[in-house]
Amino acid sequence: LRATLVGLTQPHPDVDVELPASGPRLRGQFGTEVMVRHLIGLDPGRRGVAIGDVAPEGTRLAFCERNVQAARTDLIRVCSEVREELEPEDLSLAMASALSATEAEAAPHPARRIAGAIYVSCAGRGGPHFGSPSAELQVVRRALGDVPLVGFFAGGEIAHHRLYGYTGVLTVFTMPAA
């Protein structure tokens, strides 16, 4: 039970969402806005579940567990999507060489739009969860390339207007397109 968490997907206020006729989503498909919270109790008599947050009526709940490989894969995917969106599609030979160079050889290139980044990770997923104290930040650095990067662990991660847990929040600062 201690390893079990709950993923909460809040209903969208403007849309009445129904489960598809085919049934619930496949395992691992939570959607884009999921808050993960602790499962703090079970009441078999009332058939109830207690979670570490208030869940408004209509909130969907899915039981989940932390998965290192899924977290790593998702982090690489997100960072790669950010980099692809901010990097020019047609790279000069110099730019392509700089991006494929080792970290020691790579130098910032004028065509790069990423000026720097901050990565805030949940204290519950850092260090031992990824294998070493700086492993998660190293994944971000490899995916974004040679950009100024700072990171730290927190007891909750703020994104948009919500407080999340068991996640990482990446903020990327950009320069105007050249």
When pLDDT is cut at 50, 70 and 90, the band that residue 101 belongs to is low
Cα–Cα distance, 34 to 61 (Å, whole number): 9
Closest CA to 121 of 84, 77, 91, 154: 154
Higher confidence at residue 50 or residue 162? 50
Burial state string for 5-23 with b = 16 or more CB within 10 A and e = fewer than 16: bbbbbeeeeeeeeeeeeee
Report the interhelical angle of 135-144 vs 68-86 (nearest 10°). 30
pLDDT computed for residue 102 by the predictor: 56
List, for residues 122-145, the tens digit of each pLDDT value. Answer: 887 766 678 787 888 888 988 888
pLDDT computed for residue 4 by the predictor: 84
Count H helices and E strands in the chain, helices first. Answer: 3, 9
When pLDDT is cut at 50, 70 and 90, the band that residue 105 belongs to is very low
Name the phi and psi angles at 133, rounded to 5. -55, -35
Among 51-65, 92-106, 123-137, 146-160, name the one with the lowest average pLDDT: 92-106
pLDDT computed for residue 61 by the predictor: 85
